[in-house]
Chains A and B, each alone.
Chain A
């Protein structure tokens, strides 16, 4: 029996999607977490190599595998609890669909991941790709109350729960968030929400990069607590010069006071954007990264933001950059080579700054790896965790790269 026949017998004929993709890898779309477990249990027995896909708008669906497991039929929103500011959604739900449903309930997921609005929630969680709102609301993991995932040998594992505070058991959710699928396929996500902000104001200042990083420092030093404080390269912002965009959210009184504080701290130079213009700016910045072949993020200290941006400019160019200088987080997009990425990662490692490769074509990511080499002592832990959660090495994930 062929793989496709076997899968159809296991999961039903509609679980295998149409003709195989351009690389001939059959695409399987289980319609329940249990079906994912059955598929991976069988993959373990048969020795099938599996790549994980969401909507295939972020990570290129190009890893060599016996089958592609797509979460696109896991697209239900199991619960939205506006009173509790929590929601439970399957991993294959598109971010824009989720956002709309939450908004209908007056709730908000304060995550603005890079990429297309149709990206799946599972993709955002598995790659831990937070956007500019990381300034005010933290990394992806801070929005997760729990996840359910399926291991490489087909076990359904739940971690966390659906309440906002929870220390029952080890926090395996942290391993899944940003694990790039190496430790399991995320099938269900319990989310921490915010009330939809009553006021949401974006202001922009254009200038040279150096000038704007120093303005960002002034903003942070003035104690202003923006939802986003993002430095964008001209191409990314769609402007002549670099742009510093400040997003203020919260109650009307808070946003008014913060805006006044911002103007006082910076000499009133920022321009307030109308809602549609602001939406356009943030959406353009997010979507631009999906149009570049390679994206990575680095996490330094706030004080080193300028130095790190110089380094990027020098080694890989700075055409597509989005940075939160007040927290030291930088995202880069563009075209580059394996050698340049490796050299940059080595340079950054010398500065004690990690580089995480977020997306790239398989020939690049398989060599560079999402994480590259680990610091001393960490490698055996990661290898042990991979053996634990994927004992048959079913998942095709470029974790370390081939260096």
Chain B
């Protein structure tokens, strides 16, 4: 089938307005939130209903055309980019909250619902949707499911995977399959758990049931300023080891603090601090939360915090959080280009790894700003640079690779919440051997035998060991 016939067939399903073919339209989908990858899709289609999604996927299956599901395009791994030979399936029109069931604390949504909108809709019932990625005012729940998105408050409440109960998914061949049950007990193996975080490779979620949690009645937000990153990192470990589970425990280094303070999101962070911690405690009882906040304040002071400030009211709390959540945006001011990185290390390794990252930045003469979910050990070292400067892009790439290697050497991993997408493909063989990568690829082929959904992402196919072969290597060694 020619491209023209494909476009006509898609238009018949979704209406001509919702098929984008002009270069000027397609180029707006050439990137996601990460500026380092660019792919212009061949055709962009925006179905408006679940039935239209099914019809589009069936058409593409019949024609053998690859496609890439996409939400708001706020991802940070190049995961929602489609090549010229692929169709980009944009799900933002499926944006209905189908039901909120306050008694059972469940919501059913379509994949295009914006994350923050769900919590707004649940608020009148005293409920919220806990996972809160920094992009929550724009990112969609379908994208959150695909990436297993996190966010600052996931320290206490868990990531997306801990909140998805059931899904309706459309497989690569257009079959519609219900997974899981709203009570959370799977029908058979935990296919919901397997699907969440599969980065679009297993199919398209068209309906999502998520768990809602009670909104906390008491909240305390503390800001602690430190003279060194090491001291701040050690304070994080002390808080976690104390048994208190903060709702969020975030850290920013000096470069990040200054970027925020120089921006419209200025939050009143002390500009001369080497690091600030934002610690939020929440719960049902004001007295208990106040007692825990006092204990945290004492702990951070004992670990060298030179200033501890508690948000006096909701306005100040929101201001402190706005600075943190918009830190990526603020860093955009530092220079023309920004690489937002994502890696995880064991919490206790934070101080050493931060020093290693500072050393890498100095060696490559680049600016690295750190803003991260310290309680989870989830780092976001962000590199600001001007890609027009000769040789700089290569230095940024090399420094990124060294940062990843340092995190892996510390016992960590290459992504905590942004996903592998295109960006981290090259690092996958550093943490998984050929058999493990092959096992993942084989699992994917159960859902999508032709590997047509979001092709070329997550698994570096060249690094997979042959799956069909029988293995006997090592038998003699073990016998000895």
Residue ranges of A at the interface with B (Cβ–Cβ < 8 Å): 9-12, 32, 34-35, 37-38, 41-42, 44-45, 81-86, 106, 128, 138-139, 141-142, 151, 153-159, 161-175, 177-179, 182-183, 194-198, 223-225, 250-251, 253-254, 256-258, 260-261, 297-303, 327-329, 352-354, 356, 371, 374-378, 381-382, 384-385, 388-389, 391, 399
Collect the chain A residues with CB atoms within 8 Å of residue B161's CB.
171, 174
Q: Is the CB of A196 within 8 A of B178?
A: no
Collect the chain B residues with CB atoms within 8 Å of residue A328's CB.
104, 183-184
Instruction: Give CA–CA (A385, B194) in the complex, Å.
Output: 11
Choice from B162, B288, B440 contacting A256 with Cβ under 8 Å: B288
Instruction: Give CA–CA (A244, B472) in the complex, Å.
Output: 54
Counting CB contacts under 8 A, is B420 at the interface?
Answer: yes
Choice from A10, A85, A162 contacting B475 with Cβ under 8 Å: A10
Q: Which parts of B423-480 form the interface with A (CB within 8 Å)?
A: 424, 428, 431-433, 435-440, 442-447, 458-459, 467-468, 470-472, 474-475, 477-479
B272 to chain A, nearest CB (A): 29
Counting CB contacts under 8 A, is B322 at the interface?
Answer: no
Instruction: Give CA–CA (A194, B126) in the complex, Å.
Output: 27
Q: Is the CB of A156 within 8 A of B189?
A: no
Besides the known contacts A165-B376, A178-B189, A377-B171, 17 further A-B residue pairs in the complex with CB atoms under 8 A apart: A84-B348, A139-B184, A154-B470, A158-B436, A164-B344, A166-B413, A167-B147, A169-B458, A171-B193, A177-B193, A195-B240, A257-B287, A299-B181, A300-B183, A301-B182, A329-B185, A388-B442
How many residue pairs bridge A and B at CB < 8 Å?
299
Collect the chain A residues with CB atoms within 8 Å of residue B387's CB.
none
Collect the chain B residues with CB atoms within 8 Å of residue A225's CB.
214, 283-284
Q: Mark B18-36, 1 if CB is under 8 A from A, else 0.
A: 0000000000000000000
Instruction: Give CA–CA (A376, B467) in the complex, Å.
Output: 28
Q: Is the CB of A302 within 8 A of B240?
A: no
Q: Which parts of B403-428 form the interface with A (CB within 8 Å)?
A: 411-420, 424, 428
29 A–B pairs (Cβ distance < 8 Å), ordered by A: A10-B479, A38-B479, A85-B240, A153-B470, A154-B472, A163-B344, A164-B347, A164-B376, A168-B413, A168-B432, A169-B420, A169-B458, A170-B440, A178-B189, A178-B190, A195-B241, A198-B243, A225-B284, A251-B292, A257-B284, A352-B181, A352-B182, A354-B181, A371-B187, A376-B178, A378-B178, A385-B189, A388-B443, A388-B445
Counting CB contacts under 8 A, is B291 at the interface?
Answer: yes
Residue of B nearest to A141 (CB): B193
Collect the chain A residues with CB atoms within 8 Å of residue B214's CB.
223, 225
Q: Is the CB of A327 within 8 A of B184?
A: yes
Counting CB contacts under 8 A, is B2 at the interface?
Answer: no
Q: Which parts of B58-75 form the interface with A (CB within 8 Å)?
A: none
Collect the chain A residues with CB atoms within 8 Å of residue B442's CB.
388-389
Q: Is the CB of B187 within 8 A of A354?
A: yes
Choice from A141, A142, A156 contacting B435 with Cβ under 8 Å: A156
Known: A251-B288, A299-B185, A388-B443. A38 touches B344 (CB 8 A): no
B467 to chain A, nearest CB (A): 8
Q: Is the CB of B284 within 8 A of A157?
A: no
Instruction: Give CA–CA (A142, B415) in the complex, Å.
Output: 18
Collect the chain B residues with CB atoms within 8 Å of residue A329's CB.
183-185
